[in-house]
Structure 1
């Protein structure tokens, strides 16, 4: 097939009589989101029982982004040409393969590393093609914006429930290295059965696989996108992963009997806080004050929440003498970090929608998401610097970087307000 033929994606309207079909595609997103985040409490398991260092375990956690970024950039455009169902089906199957590989993780770090990269590719493919599929299946029977909300809720349900279930099974279930991955395999298998009966929304083309190449990146000629959106993007998942992985690793020693469950609960609290704040963030973005391009309220609020949350994390890390109360305070700080993650995600996506011409919207969204997943490296970087400074000092430095990010992005926002 030619790589140069240009043809618009033909989108078919789903039958109005099948109002529930969007839920089938949404379940696939939940299954893949579950697989993506179930590894959070397992990081602590491998540290406690296999003797894996904190930096090595968190580096493996971050390898997810190495697979996710190309998955995002490739799968979305590919699904525009070959259809949503084959891409999402591939993503669900790959997430299952990843789970099987991760079940072999007790035999060596290479299995864990491979499994995380595979899960990243699966997630990128599912989140790009699957989100579009849910929106298209919702279009005939739902109010404007309902499809995007359904896709977001489906993914976040997996993000939140997956680590909690994995933490419970790792803590109290049999064969702690294998059992936590089984529920996702069952859910993904069920999703595959439903996908086979889910209507396709894109007519497959026999030519024109790509328009200008799979990895054609968009938006880098836009000053506001480069100066405002991209600098804040890594803070989206940087905030989330610090709360999900790094802080629980510091405080889990005070709750030794339930440390794995605690790690899963911290991941769930962070993810769900990010979801609960998003309706408020959308209202702010839609308000007259929220549309002020020179003084973007959501940007200020999101970075301020992350900065305050990181300062709280630094204080918690310094209060090791509090015992179990330190673990409780970590969960409270996770709420603040989750709020910051949710607000910045809404701001970034809303800003991309304002800036992007229609033909570049998918590409610029993929670039923003790719930059946001760079934040997965945050726990590893903090652990790798443990011999340079104490955790509380490192977190203070992160808070300072957050404040600097606010200053720089607000200055750039004022300079590009007319855009």
Structure 2
């Protein structure tokens, strides 16, 4: 049996997180396709973003805690299986909306497992004894990069095929199936890092995450977290539906470009987050929330003046805030968590963060009674308030630097 060179084990899990993230975000640029070509109602199409969260949140909370007790590998295999089933259901989505709902639920499950378990696994494989040369922030940066690059590539391929390719409702998901299937074998080759063993008692008692009550987590990380994916969902999920008149027949291309720009910028700025982060302050998270608030303000302007280019700029700014927030928040989580609940706390963080994905459904529901620009201005103002709360709380609840 060939022994993989020291320091490279993390790539096996990195690739698994990458393909799971691909599966979770390949649907985003296709919202207009289902609305315009398949004639599903705008409310139904937008609600599918929320359905995704219904699969994702329980998976985040359950998978992380179970892997803390029973190991990373078996739970991660379940995530890969969910990715395959999810893309299979989405490939049938053009036949019936029920397949879209099932596919989105399963996509949520696979991303939930990848974020909670995969992120923790990458972190553990990015330190001694698995990777002697990695610095302290390597795990957070690698995990965040796997998520953003996977999400971006999934959106890019799906969007381009939806705009110009054959069988746009089917082919993107078949490609993802082909890419993901080998990871059932690949993930089984990654070293198991959690050797603490299970705990006795009913399984639901194993879901407790003691570090979730840490004041630094509650007052700082949890306040900043929802804005990460709220800004993303509004920027590249909801905005393209509001600029449909301006984009015309190029609506799918704009949706794809918005997604790729946001996630591409997010990937590029992640090394900056390492420099911004400090265990004695939350300056990385504070900066990120204010940057995302600026992006939401630009989204408001893009809707008001129906500007495609302003929409692209808005997504670039949102992406910058997302990239800084993801790395900074993961570094906070990894410093707060204990060895017994790292994946569990990572899952809680992502569950709180993904609550933001419900925003487009809420905005769409209110849009019939309140102007969209007014709603977006209120959302932007709330983001500024959240940034101020994170700033004030971080000064009060200082985090001890890791030994």
Give the 3-state SS of the residue equivalent to 1:105 in structure 2: coil
Matched residues in 2 for 1:331 and 1:214: separation?
Answer: 44
Q: Is this contact kept in 2: 1:21–1:198, CA < 8 A?
A: yes
Matched residues in 2 for 1:220 and 1:203: separation?
Answer: 22
1:317 CA displacement = 0.6
Give the 3-state SS of the residue equivalent to 2:13 in structure 1: helix
Q: Which residue of 2 aligns with 1:299?
A: 285
Matched, 1:192 2:173: no
Taking structure 1 as reference, are residues 329 and 121 closer, same or farther at Cα in structure 2, changes over 3 Å only? same
CA deviations 1:37-92 (Å, max 9, x no partner) are 00001111111112223332121122212111221222223234443332222211
Matched residues in 1 for 2:328 and 2:123: separation?
Answer: 20
Q: Is this contact kept in 2: 1:218–1:363, CA < 8 A?
A: no
Matched, 1:151 2:143: yes
Q: Is this contact kept in 2: 1:302–1:344, CA < 8 A?
A: yes
1:226 CA displacement = 2.1
Alignment of 1:335-374 (within 5 A): 335-374=316-355
1:407 CA displacement = 3.0
Of 294, 298, 321, which residue of structure 2 is paired with 1:312? 298
Q: Which residue of 1 aligns with 2:12?
A: 24
1:406 CA displacement = 2.5
Matched, 1:56 2:5: no
User: Which structure's CA Rg is the greater one?
Assistant: 1
Matched residues in 1 for 2:188 and 2:215: separation?
Answer: 43
Q: Is this contact kept in 1: 2:10–2:122, CA < 8 A?
A: yes
1:204 CA displacement = 8.8
Matched residues in 2 for 1:281 and 1:31: separation?
Answer: 24
Matched residues in 2 for 1:224 and 1:205: separation?
Answer: 28
Q: Is this contact kept in 2: 1:76–1:125, CA < 8 A?
A: yes
Q: Which residue of 2 aligns with 1:93?
A: 81
Q: Is this contact kept in 1: 2:60–2:113, CA < 8 A?
A: yes
Q: Is this contact kept in 2: 1:32–1:158, CA < 8 A?
A: yes
Matched residues in 2 for 1:413 and 1:368: separation?
Answer: 17
CA deviations 1:123-157 (Å, max 9, x no partner) are 11122222333334444234134344333222222
Matched residues in 1 for 2:43 and 2:14: separation?
Answer: 34
Of 203, 206, 216, which residue of structure 1 is paired with 2:208? 216
1:101 CA displacement = 0.7
TM, length-normalised to structure 1? 0.86
Give the 3-state SS of the residue equivalent to 1:277 in structure 2: helix
Alignment of 1:25-44 (within 5 A): 25-44=13-32
Q: How many pairs are equivalent?
A: 395
1:187 CA displacement = 0.7
1:172 CA displacement = 1.4
Matched residues in 1 for 2:64 and 2:263: separation?
Answer: 24
Q: Is this contact kept in 1: 2:140–2:331, CA < 8 A?
A: no
1:221 CA displacement = 3.8
Question: Which ranges of structure 1 fall in alignment gaps of 5 or more residues?
Answer: 1-13, 321-325
1:359 CA displacement = 4.0
Q: Which residue of 2 aligns with 1:401?
A: 382
Taking structure 1 as reference, are residues 128 and 362 closer, same or farther at Cα in structure 2, changes over 3 Å only? closer
1:352 CA displacement = 3.0
Compare 99-108 and 204-213 and name the one that shifted more. Answer: 204-213
TM, length-normalised to structure 2? 0.89
Compare 50-59 and 177-186 and name the one that shifted more. Answer: 50-59
1:165 CA displacement = 0.4
Matched, 1:264 2:256: yes
Matched residues in 1 for 2:202 and 2:60: separation?
Answer: 15
Give the 3-state SS of the residue equivalent to 1:213 in structure 2: helix
Matched residues in 1 for 2:180 and 2:112: separation?
Answer: 16
Matched residues in 1 for 2:205 and 2:76: separation?
Answer: 20
Compare 158-167 and 63-72 and name the one that shifted more. Answer: 63-72
Of 299, 314, 330, which residue of structure 1 is paired with 2:311? 330
Matched residues in 2 for 1:151 and 1:416: separation?
Answer: 26
Q: Which residue of 1 aligns with 2:363?
A: 382
Alignment of 1:87-166 (within 5 A): 87-139=75-127, 140-141=130-131, 142-144=133-135, 145-166=137-158
Compare 357-366 and 335-344 and name the one that shifted more. Answer: 357-366
Alignment of 1:163-178 (within 5 A): 163-178=155-170
Q: Is this contact kept in 2: 1:164–1:261, CA < 8 A?
A: no
Matched residues in 2 for 1:409 and 1:200: separation?
Answer: 36
